[in-house]
Amino acid sequence: MFLASKGFEVTGTDVSPSSLALARKLLASRGLGARLVRASAYARLPFGDAAPLTPSSPRRPSTTPESPG
């Protein structure tokens, strides 16, 4: 949830349907979204080989100070 709150596209996995349901409820209660997939971390995950960590649209402005102009 931390990464989702920072604007990242997040995918969560778990083998337990009840854990995924709880995660959906927690995400919704915080106004966040994530792709949740039923899968085992010990098996080959259902994703391509490349899963880059890249921020999606940020939810708030950058905190980088602007140059004086």
Model confidence, pTM: 0.61
Strands annotated E in 1-69: 11-14, 35-38
What CA dihedral angle connects 29, 33, 37 and 38, to 10 degrees?
Answer: 0
**pLDDT of 11 higher than 60:** yes
Angstrom distance (rounded) from CA 5 to CA 1: 6
What pLDDT score was predicted for residue 50? 53
Residue 49: pLDDT band (50, 70, 90) is low
**pLDDT of 17 higher than 80:** yes
Identify which of 8-12, 42-46, 62-66 has the greatest average pLDDT.
8-12
For range 28-46, the mean pLDDT? 86
Instruction: Give residue limits of the domains in the chain.
Output: 2-38
